[in-house]
Amino acid sequence: MSTSAPPPLDLNNIQGDILVGIAKKTETYYFFQIDSSRVNDFRKQLSQLVPLIYTSAKSQDDKKKIADRKRTDAGLLKIGGVNIVFSRKGLNLLGIKDNTGDTAFEAGMLAGAKDLHDNGTTTPDNKFDPDWIPAFKKQIHGLVLVSADSHQTVDESLRKVEQIFKVGTPNATIYQVLRLVGDVRPGNEAGHEHFGFLDGVSQPAVDGVDNHLPGQDVVRQGIILVGRQGDVTTTRPAWALDGSFLAFRYLPQLVPEFNAFLKANPVPGVLPPDFASDLAGARLVGRWKSGAPIDIAFAADNPTLGADKQNNDLFRYNFDFDQDIQSQARCPFAAHTRKTNPRADLDQFGGTELKRILRRGIQFGPELTAEEISLGRTQKDRGLLFAAYQSNIPNGFQFIQQSWANNVTFPPGKKDQKTGGTIQAGFDPIIGQAGPGLPRTMNGFDPKAQSTNLSLTAEWVLSKGGEYFFSPSLPTLKNVFALPADQREL
Ligand code: N7H
């Protein structure tokens, strides 16, 4: 990438799922392979797809329109947004061989599954075979993301995409490897993930793009966009400017089993039992189902606080930093939101900016059935289609998963209130992974007996596959990816 300053940021050049995010009720993830004998046709067709790409400028504009409509009760705005991203294997097939400078993307997620501590087996020839659904072990060259207000709008957009690539005809240039459909949950559960907790509460604002709320972290553009200020990698191909890396994970959740665990493990000494189980869930996650952060609402839920979009301004996990020894009375060090964004826990270790990601995922699968509730056992697939953007996967998703959630000694420097000994926080109980067959515990679950470890008797979020992708800017799609090598402009 050139050493001169990049041109000013233009949101028309950036895919809409990255900055701002597409206001969606439903999203289809269409994983595809490119027919290797029709790469030239695919390239030409790619230029026809460019006008369909939903940009960050459009998503910003639509979000304003949606806010206006909510004020005037004018009903749902029709939104249909297409984005396209490529894996390393996909870029290779297009003849784009330059190293992006991102080691995780270059290797692909399958190669890193063991280090992510995904479940699986080691074969006699010492290869790790993760317990993923078969589609993610196949070659995936790219992914079309179609977000919309309704399934009908998704279908309309997907039909256009399939027409462009001649899908279903003898001249098809792409083949579907897997199609995943995500839906916002119905009714009052909208905005809540399948365990029941409000999601999308804490997201960094991007400098110069988002109007940030009080207490919302502001990150430099290069934390999310390649080649912008804050991108720590200096060796990038010119075409990577204003792109972003997408970490996609297919994460089924075992909801009845999670609920049964909370029922069997209420916070000791707290009554009534249902409340003690709700408190247990809040201490595992770091927020109540309402979204209220337990670092403030540590004794009881506070739905008004949960609904307050500015609640990030009210806590940094440092209420007792003036004490020599910090307590877990308010929030366990291992709670999911604290592990994945430790706020003041890292003030003395360089802060968190480089580790921030933009989460754009969506729920998949049906609501619990009466039978699942009565059996306490999952019978239908449901969970999170996790999707997160960053300029650097080893610093973003990969770091959060491997070095924080899976790392029992993180956050560092914590001391036991009574003994003064070093505390091992344990695993993030929601997404922390010990590795195949290994047990997990967390510290600080019981506010009155903080040094007691809680045995996390099962995993309730399963890693069933995924891939790393690169989401190029629109100029790069048009002038590089869609052209044969001798005509490329960058
Ligand atoms: Fe998490 N959950 O329901 O427990 N997440 N997450 N996540 N997550 C968050 O703050 C959840 C996953 C982050 O800034 C909330 O928006 C579930 C992965 C980060 O304070 C809830 C799954 C990774 C934050 C959940 C899952 C992360 C965050 C609170 C999987 C990265 C922001 C709502 C099925 C490796 C923390 C909110 C902050 C928040 C849940 C996955 C990261 C409720 C169920 C894989 C950075």
| Average pLDDT over every residue of 340-358 | 95
Question: Over the chain, what is the mean pLDDT?
Answer: 94
Q: Is 463 near ligand 1, meaning CB less than 6 Å away?
A: no
Residue 325 pLDDT exceeds 70 = no
* CA distances for 219 relative to 17, 207, 228, angstroms: 17, 6, 11
pLDDT at res. 78: 81
Residue nearest to atom 12 of ligand 1 (CA): 431
**Which atom of ligand 1 is the closest one to the Cα of 388?**
31
**Does residue 427 have its Cβ closer than 6 Å to ligand 1?**
no
Burial of 77 (0-12, 13-18, 19+ CB in 10 A): middle
Does residue 23 sit in the same domain as residue 106? yes
Q: Is the model's pLDDT at 321 over the cut of 80?
A: no
Q: Report, as an integer, the average pLDDT of 77-90.
A: 92
Query: 72 falls in which pLDDT band (50, 70, 90)?
Result: confident
174, pLDDT greater than 60: yes
In angstroms, the CA 261 to CA 267 distance is: 12
Residue 349 — pLDDT band, cuts 50, 70, 90?
very high
Residue 405 lies in a domain: no
- What confidence score (pLDDT) does residue 1 get? 65
Q: Whose CA is nearest to atom 20 of ligand 1?
A: 337
291 backbone φψ class: left, alpha, beta (φ>0; ψ -120 to 50): left
Percent of the chain topping pLDDT 70: 98
**Catalytic positions, please?**
199
Q: Is residue 213 part of a domain?
A: no
Rounded to the nearest angstrom, the distance between the alpha carbon of 386 and the centre of ligand 1 is 9
Nearest CA to ligand 1 atom 34: 384
DSSP 253: B
Structure tokens belonging to residue 341: 């964004």
DSSP H helices, 28-138, are 39-49, 56-72, 88-93, 103-107, 109-112
Mean pLDDT of 462-468: 98
**Same domain, yes or no: 147 and 287:** no
pLDDT for 114 equals 97
**pLDDT higher than 90, residue 419:** no
Nearest CA to ligand 1 atom 37: 201
Q: 29 - beta bridge partners?
A: 145, 180
Q: What are the tens digits of pLDDT across the range 130-141? A: 999 999 999 999
Please indicate, yes or no, whether residues 272 and 243 belong to a single structural domain of this protein: no
Q: Which of 228, 185, 314 is nearest to 19 (CA)?
A: 228
- What is residue 80's predicted lDDT score, i.e. its pLDDT? 77
Place of tokens 């400078």: 101
* Residue 322 clears pLDDT 60, i.e. is over it: no
Which of 352, 413, 68 is closest to 218 using CA atoms? 352
* pLDDT tens, residue by residue, 424-438: 999 999 999 999 999
For residue 155, being part of any structural domain is answered with: yes
Q: Does 460 contact ligand 1 (Cβ within 6 A)? A: no
Spell out the residues 6+ positions from residue 445 whose beta carbon is closer than 8 angstroms to its own: 265, 267, 280, 283, 284, 332, 452, 453, 454
* DSSP letter, residue 232: -
Residue 246 and residue 271 in one domain: no
Report whether residue 285 contacts ligand 1, using a CB cutoff of 6 Å: yes
Handedness of CA 223, 111, 180, 81 (dihedral sign): positive
Reported as a single tens digit per residue, the pLDDT across 351-373 is 999 999 999 999 999 999 999 99
User: In this structure, are 336 and 246 located in the same domain?
Assistant: no
Characterize 23-41 residue by residue with b for buried, 16 or more Cβ atoms within 10 angstroms of its Cβ, and e for exposed: bbbbbbbbbbbbbeebeeb
Pocket test for ligand 1, best of 285, 289, 431 (most atoms within 8 A of CB): 431
Q: CA 122 to CA 325: how far, in whole Å?
A: 42
CA of 337 to the centre of ligand 1 (A): 6
Asked, for residue 93, whether it belongs to a domain, the answer is: yes
Q: Residue 196 above 70 pLDDT?
A: yes
Residue range(s) defining the domain that contains residue 283: 253-353+411-459
Q: Are 230 and 264 contained in the same domain?
A: no
Is 43 among the domain residues? yes
Q: Does 461 contact ligand 1 (Cβ within 6 A)?
A: yes
**Mean per-residue pLDDT, 250-277:** 97
> Rounded distance, CA 146 to CA 308, Å?
30
Confidence of residue 5 (pLDDT cuts 50, 70, 90): confident
- Over the stretch 374-401, which tens digit does the pLDDT of each residue have? 999 999 999 999 999 999 999 999 999 9
Q: Which of 64-73, 184-193, 296-305, 475-484 has the lowest mean pLDDT?
A: 64-73
Q: Is 225 in the same domain as 309?
A: no
The answer to which of 55-59, 85-89, 395-399 has the lowest mean pLDDT is: 55-59
Whether residue 73 sits in one domain with residue 39: yes
d(CA 476, CA 414): 46
Q: Are strands 80-86 and 453-456 parallel, antiparallel or unpaired?
A: unpaired
Do the domain assignments include residue 19? yes
Mean pLDDT for 179-198 is: 97
pLDDT band at 416 (very low <50, low <70, confident <90, very high): confident
Instruction: Break the chain down into helix, strand, coil percent, rounded to 5.
Output: 30, 20, 50
- Is residue 383 within 8 A of residue 251, CB to CB? The reply is yes
Confidence tier at 67 by pLDDT (50, 70, 90): confident
Whether 323 has a pLDDT exceeding 80, the answer reads: no
Which ligand 1 atom is nearest residue 201's CA? 16
Residue with structure tokens 């201490």? Answer: 283
- Domain count of the chain? 2
- Is there a single domain that holds both residue 329 and residue 270? yes
Q: 155 and 56, same structural domain?
A: yes
Per-residue model confidence (pLDDT) at position 2: 58
Shared domain check, 134 and 231: yes
Q: Which atom of ligand 1 is nearest to the CA of 461?
A: 34
Answer yes or no: do 271 and 146 share one domain. no
Judge whether residue 324 has pLDDT over 60.
Answer: no
Closest C-alpha to ligand 1, atom 33: 199
The answer to whether residue 490 scores a pLDDT higher than 90 is no
Examine residue 368 and state whether it is found in any structural domain, yes or no.
no
Out of 112-116, 309-313, 415-419, least confident range: 415-419
What percentage of the chain has pLDDT greater than the value 90?
86
Domain membership of residue 269 (yes or no) is yes
Atom number in ligand 1 closest to CA 400: 35
